[in-house]
Amino acid sequence: MTDILVTAEVSGAIGTITVRRPKALNALNAEVLRQLLDAIGRLSDDKAVRVILLTGEGDRAFVAGADITEFVGASPADALAISERFKRVTNALTGAPKPVVAVINGYCLGGGFELALACDIRIAATTAKLGLPEIKLGILPGGGGTVRLTKIAGSSVARMMTMTGEPIAADRAYALGLVASVHAPEELARAAAALAEQLAALSPFALAQLKSSLNIAVDADTESACRAEIKAFALCYSTADQEEGAKAFLEKRKPVFTGT
């Protein structure tokens, strides 16, 4: 029987994915990645779920990196397969048609940091440590870390973090724009729930279009990105949620978005 290393739980409109290898600091291996991909897919397809939270079990680690035992004796072909497998997971996070929030409750290193960088929003405990230490193993990030970190925090920060391999504290990550907010460890779950509830109250169609537009903005030229935004904006006017949002504003009440 396969061990359950990743769970996907649903409460109302909020889905929570948890990596459950606390004794290994929630380190990633092939089976964790397989279960992660399955969990992301299931919650992405669940129309009742409007927001996805991603975290690690316990209070020591979000995901402390890859399981290094899988690296020993690996060939270049093995390494390529590992990266391709990981890329499918990060692409699933980025491509999910709903907001994905990384709830960083401890060590967030290597592949764990790359997972977090693929999420839409990152919030962290004050005790969290974030970094890409692969250079200390004689390798470099292979899950999109150099690319996403450069785009989010800029070339200078990316070079400093990847070339030294030294992690940074949560407050420094906040100052660099790598996390959106920082909370005391005992307040992190409450903050995550509040953020998830806030997002879940919004129009899921508009959020999906917004996420798509933001993803395009990262890679496309300005004109192409603006065209994509205009199209997404126009599509929102095909929904009942748009009508509800306008009426609620004029009637000075909170809108009730149904996802239609």
Position 91 scores a pLDDT of: 97
Summarised one tens digit per residue, pLDDT across range 26-62 is 999 999 999 999 999 999 999 999 999 999 999 999 9
134 counts as catalytic: yes
Q: Answer yes or no: do 116 and 240 share one domain.
A: no
Q: Strand 6-11 vs strand 14-19: parallel, antiparallel, or unpaired?
A: antiparallel
Residue-number span of the structural domain to which 221 is assigned: 204-250
Q: Answer yes or no: do 176 and 135 share one domain.
A: yes
Summarised one tens digit per residue, pLDDT across range 16-34 is 999 999 999 999 999 999 9
Summarised one tens digit per residue, pLDDT across range 104-151 is 999 999 999 999 999 999 999 999 999 999 999 999 999 999 999 999
Looking at residues 149-157, what average pLDDT do you find? Answer: 97
Q: Answer yes or no: do 170 and 134 share one domain.
A: yes
Q: Answer yes or no: do 245 and 132 share one domain.
A: no
Q: Answer yes or no: do 172 and 243 share one domain.
A: no
Residue 51 CB: number of other CB atoms within 10 A? Answer: 27
Contact residues for 100 (Cβ-Cβ < 8 A; gap 6+): 51, 52, 53, 54, 93, 118, 119, 120, 121
9 counts as catalytic: no
Position 1 scores a pLDDT of: 56
Place of tokens 């109302």: 12
On average, the pLDDT of the chain sits at 96
Assigned token pair, 208: 């999906």
Q: Answer yes or no: do 229 and 193 share one domain.
A: no
The verdict on residue 255 lying in a domain is: no
3-state secondary structure of 260: coil
- Options 31, 84, 114, 223, the catalytic residue: 114
Position 237 scores a pLDDT of: 95
Helix-strand-coil split of the chain, %, nearest 5: 55, 15, 30
- Options 134, 197, 223, 229, the catalytic residue: 134
Cα 109 to Cα 130: distance, rounded to the nearest angstrom? 5
Q: Answer yes or no: do 38 and 164 share one domain.
A: yes
Which one-letter DSSP state was computed for residue 69? G
Residue 18 CB: number of other CB atoms within 10 A? Answer: 18
Looking at residues 218-231, what average pLDDT do you find? Answer: 94
